């Protein structure tokens, strides 16, 4: 099997384009699930303080026996910690829970446009970046008008913007804005939590190529250039979702799947979401 390609972020750091997501994996199951992913070959793990499973992700990385620098780990600042001092402390806790002395990528999880000011939160992430304990910083669920303020009012361009992207929500506007400013797009819920897998266009393409609908959908994401990290607690699916490099979609396949867009979110609207746990 060909190896996972890397994407070079705007500060020169390289990130594997395919990783493993850990949202909704219960803490007691996370160590085993993450370890399985690492044994299958994944070298990029996406977690968050909000998921409550950073400790178990860190345990799995150590138990895998892999050198720390061989595994790219992302975590995210939770919504209750947007004030500067809270953000600095939350990052310390994230590192301590993971049991790491550095993190690869730290993101503002949600912009919370009606709570506090995400530009001040971004400045706290810049401070953390300058401390040398994180290799790259970015944002998640930012719309272009949120990013515009970050670009205009601060000195650091986010390395990534992690947003919901799948065939029913292709996000061409946000992805184009990201690309124009050197921000890599990370696609969360890349198979829409399973919702797109019985779509006739996707199942037809899968049948023609002798692949599964999930593989076709993830391959569509990779060929569009986005970074993905599907989640599964089922070993055979973890393997299936990693086996994406022995086939290719035609340009017509990519266009046909992109045409399935129906602006259908599985998660919250970033302009309205103000949830603080």
| Active-site option among 51, 102, 129, 168 | 51
Q: Which is nearer to ligand NDP, 12 or 277 (by Cβ)?
A: 277
Does 21 interact with ligand NDP (rule: CB under 6 A)? Answer: yes
Bridge pairing between strands 134-140 and 160-164: parallel
How far, CA to CA in Å, does 141 sit from each of 102, 163, 208? 24, 5, 35
Does 274 interact with ligand NDP (rule: CB under 6 A)? Answer: no
Bridge pairing between strands 6-8 and 14-16: antiparallel
Phi and psi at residue 195, in whole multiples of 5°? -65, -25
Among 64, 143, 193, 203, which residue sits at the site for ligand NDP (rule: CB under 6 A)?
193
For the bound state, the minimum distance from the C-beta of residue 197 to ligand NDP, rounded and expressed in Å, comes to 6
Does 188 interact with ligand NDP (rule: CB under 6 A)? Answer: yes
Pick the piece of the chain touching ligand NDP (CB under 6 A) from 10-18, 64-72, 184-192, 249-257: 184-192
Query: Is residue 51 among the annotated active site residues?
Result: yes
Does 194 interact with ligand NDP (rule: CB under 6 A)? Answer: yes
User: Integer distance in angstroms from the first to the last C-alpha of the chain?
Assistant: 42
For the bound state, the minimum distance from the C-beta of residue 3 to ligand NDP, rounded and expressed in Å, comes to 20
Task: With beta carbons less than 8 A apart as the criterion, state whether 52 and 76 touch.
Answer: no
Task: With beta carbons less than 8 A apart as the criterion, state whether 112 and 77 touch.
Answer: no
Listed in sequence order, the residues at least 6 apart from 132 whose beta carbon sits closer than 8 Å to its beta carbon are 102
Does 237 interact with ligand NDP (rule: CB under 6 A)? Answer: yes
- Positions touching ligand NDP (CB under 6 A) are 21-24, 46, 109, 140-141, 162, 188-194, 197, 214, 229-234, 237, 240-241, 267
Active site residues: 51
């Amino acid at each position: 099997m060909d190896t996972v390609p890397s994407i070079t972020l705007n500060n020169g750091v390289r990130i594997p384009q395919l990783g493993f997501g850990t949202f909704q994996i219960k803490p007691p199951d996370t160590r085993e699930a993450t370890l399985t992913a690492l044994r299958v070959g994944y070298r990029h793990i996406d977690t968050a303080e909000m998921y409550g499973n950073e400790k178990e992700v860190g345990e799995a990385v150590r138990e895998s026996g892999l050198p720390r620098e061989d595994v790219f780990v992302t975590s995210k600042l939770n919504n209750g910690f947007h004030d500067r001092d809270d953000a600095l402390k939350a990052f310390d806790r994230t590192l301590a829970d993971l049991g790491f002395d550095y993190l690869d990528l730290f993101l503002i999880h949600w912009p919370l446009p009606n709570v506090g000011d995400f530009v001040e939160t971004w400045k706290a992430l810049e401070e953390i970046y300058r401390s040398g304990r994180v290799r790259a910083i970015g944002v998640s669920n930012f719309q272009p008008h949120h990013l515009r303020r970050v670009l205009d009012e601060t000195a650091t361009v986010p390395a990534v913007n992690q947003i919901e992207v799948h065939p029913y929500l292709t996000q061409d506007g946000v992805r184009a804005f990201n690309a124009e400013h050197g921000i890599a797009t990370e696609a969360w819920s890349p198979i829409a939590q399973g919702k797109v897998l019985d779509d006739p266009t996707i199942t037809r393409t899968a049948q023609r190529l002798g692949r599964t609908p999930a593989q076709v959908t993830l391959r569509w994401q990779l060929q569009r250039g986005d970074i993905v990290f599907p989640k599964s607690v089922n070993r055979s699916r973890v393997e299936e979702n990693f086996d994406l490099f022995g086939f290719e979609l035609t340009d017509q396949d990519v266009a046909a799947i992109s045409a399935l867009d129906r602006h259908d979110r599985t998660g919250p609207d970033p302009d309205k979401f103000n949830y603080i746990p």
